[in-house]
Structure 1
């Protein structure tokens, strides 16, 4: 029961933040919003305030902001289709952007209370780092001439080079120093290690916010790097749907609230970036049509665009059913 409650909260926050981005930007651009919905299907609860209907629907797998003139022609000057292209682009981008902002905020909250790992290190006696000359309090600047902006980046670069010699540049008492460090191998993960630990900074608002931005950008880069593999068929087995996410949320909840927050941030980054891909029915596809309209000076036929989005949505639903089935088999059979 706790897993279900926490999962509903996580899904609800992700959906609300995304749709709120579309909603508030549409309002700021003077676009008439007919409905703000959490969920799809039959309505459970609704209330109308002003010109907008706010509703909660039965299927909590998404949401939508229904704007005047979004998928049809109309003479209303406040309709989405009658606004300038830059305004419509802003409305479309705002949803995914809010997911990335949410991730930054959640990671910053974790950093503020749990602490932010820095690139200042303590060294384990007798470790490769100690033998090379790195000392407690040194701040890692680069690894093999690649600038390191966070502890995660440093660990990632070192872990990819087991049993190899790395050039590690550090800052010590205002002076830059470089050391050649021979990595050893972690017996459990088989990844490279040099025997250093991070110094944690707690209750620093600035450092926490900086960490939120850095980790969001770092995770985003990892996701972008994995897209070509996914298109090529590699990594498809790792895709998870709502059931899989509920399972992950339940496992995270057993460990603690910070794990739930970090998982929510990770899902939010994925949701934001995937929505920006040029996949029919996604925000990225709508952006492509707006770019085409801007370049050719007139919009694409709304019926043709609507058909493409409909086909894309249908294919996404088929994929969702497949992933749901696989999650069910993997988790419960």
Structure 2
């Protein structure tokens, strides 16, 4: 039960933030918003304020902002279809923007709490290759074999992937830049290649904000690398893609591991949601943006009925894919 409550809070937060982005910008550019809904299916609760119905629906998956003239023809001057193209694109992008913003805020809070590991060296083991090469506490690693190293994870990944017995480490020491040839050894306990340094941890708001942007960038790169592996056939979609059931399971695991893990997972899912919604897939925001760009090129809008049919078919395909992924989620539970 606690897992379900945690999952409902996480997914609810992501949906509300995403739809709030659409809602806020729509209101800002003067579009008439008919409904702000959290969830899909039958209404559980509804309250009208001004011209907008605020509703909570029975199926806790997704949500939407219903705007005048978004999916149908409308003569109302405040309809979505009668606003400038840039205003409409801004409304569509706003949902994903809010997901990215939420992730950055969450990650900033995490890094401010636990600190940000830097490439400044806090200590060197006496029997380590780094010590033998003359690297000292207080040095800052700036490159490995000529490749810029901005984060400790980048340093460790390069060391792990390197097949050489020695690597060239560039460090800053005060105002000097030094090149050190460092041996690499395998730590059997950690099951990874090391040079024997311990990195410093910085705990400040500035470091936390910078760390959150770096982590967001890393997650975005990982997601697009996954898409690349899908097209090359290297990805195991049955194991690496999660639907609603899989997400609930992941939230449950994170909940048992502690609040920080739940927050990290929330940020990761939020970034995923932001990217997925910007892809040119029918029924998603990215597809609607594509239609608006086509409208800008043609100088006239696409027939609303034809566009609506494309989105309807796309929505059906998305539901089918979600059911298939959910089936895989259930199989993984047993």
Same fold (TM over 0.5): yes
Structure 1 residues 73-82 or 159-168, which shifts more? 159-168
Indicate the residue corresponding to 2:258 in structure 1.
Answer: 256
**Equivalent pairs, count:** 331
Change (3 A) 1:188 1:283: farther
Residue in structure 1 matched with residue 290 of structure 2 by the alignment: 288
Q: Distance in 2 between matches of 1:208 and 1:303?
A: 48
Residue of structure 2 in register with 1:50 after alignment = 50
Structure 1 residue 185: Cα displacement: 3.2
Q: For structure 2, list consecutive stretches of 5 or more residues without a partner in the other structure.
A: none
CA distance in 1, matches of 2:228, 2:256: 34
Deviation for aligned residue 1:24: 0.7
Question: Does the 8 A contact of 1:162 with 1:185 survive in 2?
Answer: no
Deviation at 1:93, TM superposition (A): 0.8
2:97 aligns with 97
**Partner in structure 2 of residue 31 of structure 1:** 31
Whether the 8 Å contact between 1:34 and 1:51 is mirrored in structure 2 is: yes
Correspondence for 2:223: 223
Residues 312-332 of structure 1 deviation map (CA, whole Å, 9 limit, x = unaligned): 11111111111111111110x
Distance change (3 Å), C-alpha of 1:174 and 1:296: same
Instruction: Select between 159-168 and 14-23 the one with higher mean Cα deviation.
Output: 159-168
Distance 2:194 2:291 in 1: 48
1:172 is aligned to 2:189: no
- Using the TM superposition, give the Cα deviation of residue 49 of structure 1 relative to its aligned residue in structure 2, in angstroms: 0.8
TM-score, normalising length: structure 2: 0.94
Q: In the alignment, what sits opposite 1:2?
A: 2
Equivalence for 1:60:
60
TM superposition shift of 1:232:
3.8
Runs (4+) off by over 3 Å: 162-165, 185-192
Structure 1 alignment gaps of length 5 or more: none
Partners of 1:275 and 1:282 within 8 A in 2: yes
* TM-score, scaled relative to structure 1: 0.95
- Three-state SS of the structure 1 residue aligned to 2:75 is coil
Correspondence 1:112-261 to 2 at 5 A: 112-121=112-121, 122-187=123-188, 191-202=192-203, 204-233=204-233, 234-237=235-238, 238-261=240-263
User: Which residue number corresponds to residue 306 of structure 1?
Assistant: 308
Contact (CA 8 Å) 1:162, 1:190: kept in 2 or not? no
RMSD after superposition: 1.6
Please give the alpha-carbon distance, in whole angstroms, between the structure 2 residues aligned to 1:239 and 1:308. 25
CA contact (8 A) 1:163 1:192 kept: no
Deviation of residue 154 (structure 1)?
2.6
Displacement of 1:130 after TM fit? 2.2
